[in-house]
Structure 1
């Protein structure tokens, strides 16, 4: 049978761990909520021209990302076609 002090130690350890994890999660959630509130305040305080310029910057970033992805896709297709042609030529020469 397990000794009473050992059981008490395990219960205490589990309790402290549960309290620590709960506190960490609650604190992280609280910080995230505060950051969201600050961001909302900042956005609502912007003038119309500032909002427009911010949206334009976001659109430019999306366009840059789209162009990069299209370039990568074209390179992938070119390599794929190149390999297929190369494999076909190797098969023919055997």
Structure 2
């Protein structure tokens, strides 16, 4: 018969290994996506680079306006 302590140690060990693997996998995926985006930007022509930068700017402006509206709502509440 296994003791409760041994069962807890095994459970915690498996959970720790699973969490570590998920964290490592997410980091690996992020680095891979970043490398692909960087490679696309390096290999792109000047026109493509300008188009990509315009898309990125549009996305960032949208994010900024969303964040600004959230800040304005928070300030209005206080």
TM-score by length of structure 1 reads 0.56
Does the C-alpha gap of structure 1 residues 48 and 15 become closer, same or farther in structure 2, counting only changes over 3 Å? same
Post-superposition shift, 1:53?
2.6
Post-superposition shift, 1:16?
0.4
Please, which moves more after superposition, 19-28 or 4-13? 4-13
Q: Does 1:15 align with 2:6?
A: no
Where do 5+ consecutive residues of structure 1 fail to align? 73-94
Work out the number of aligned pairs and report it. 64
Where do 5+ consecutive residues of structure 2 fail to align? 70-78
Does the C-alpha gap of structure 1 residues 48 and 38 become closer, same or farther in structure 2, counting only changes over 3 Å? same
CA distance in 1, matches of 2:41, 2:54: 15
Structure 1 segments, 4+ long, off by >4 Å, are: none
Larger Rg: 1
The higher relative CO (CA closer than 8 Å, separation ≥ 6) is in 2
Q: Partner residue of 1:29?
A: 27
